[in-house]
Structure formats: structure tokens, C-alpha cells
Amino acid sequence: MGPVSGLVVYIVLWWLTLFAVLPWGIHREAAPEEGHDSGAPVNPQLTPKFAVTTVISAVLWVGVYVLITSGLIDMREL
């Protein structure tokens, strides 16, 4: 796997992981004010979620890298 394809795989994994992590710990406002969305979170805590997403994506990327470089998955044959 070259550096560009490795970066692309990491970015795709990061975005997929972010969408899985975003709903963690979401609490809605009990009585939203007029004009506010009833589904909007009170405190989305995006910074910790970005950090968790980065760590999980890095672990997944290492797994994909090992699978591809070990020869278990040959991308040229697919």
C-alpha cells in the first residue's frame, strides 16, 4: 500500500468511525425554546469524540495495513 492509498484508507475509516461515534452520550434538551430544534444536543462534546475517532481509526488502519501487506488480501487480484 502506497502513502496516498494509505492516507485515503485512513480518511475513509476516520469518517466512518466518526459517524459511529457521534451519537455517544447525546442528551436532548427537555423543553427546547421556541425556534430551537427538539433533537439538537445540549452539549455535543465534539473534541473528545474527534480524539476517540482518531484513535479508533488508527487502530483500524493498522489492521487494514497488516492485512494488505501480509498478503492475506491481495488488492491486485480483486
Q: How confident is the model at residue 7 (pLDDT cuts 50, 70, 90)?
A: very high
Count CB atoms within 10 A of the CB of residue 17: 20
Asked if the structure places residue 49 within a domain, the reply is yes
Residues linked to residue 28 through DSSP beta bridges, in sequence order: 41
What's the number of domains the chain is made of?
Answer: 1
Q: How confident is the model at residue 78 (pLDDT cuts 50, 70, 90)?
A: low
Contact 31, 39 (CB under 8 A): no
Can you tell me the distance from the alpha carbon of 63 to that of 38, in angstroms, rounded to the nearest whole number?
39
Asked if the structure places residue 65 within a domain, the reply is yes
Asked if the structure places residue 75 within a domain, the reply is no
pLDDT tens profile 23-62: 998 888 787 778 888 778 888 899 999 999 999 999 999 9
Measured at the alpha carbon of residue 59, what is the angle toward residues 13 and 75, in degrees to the nearest 5? 60
Burial of 6 (0-12, 13-18, 19+ CB in 10 A): middle
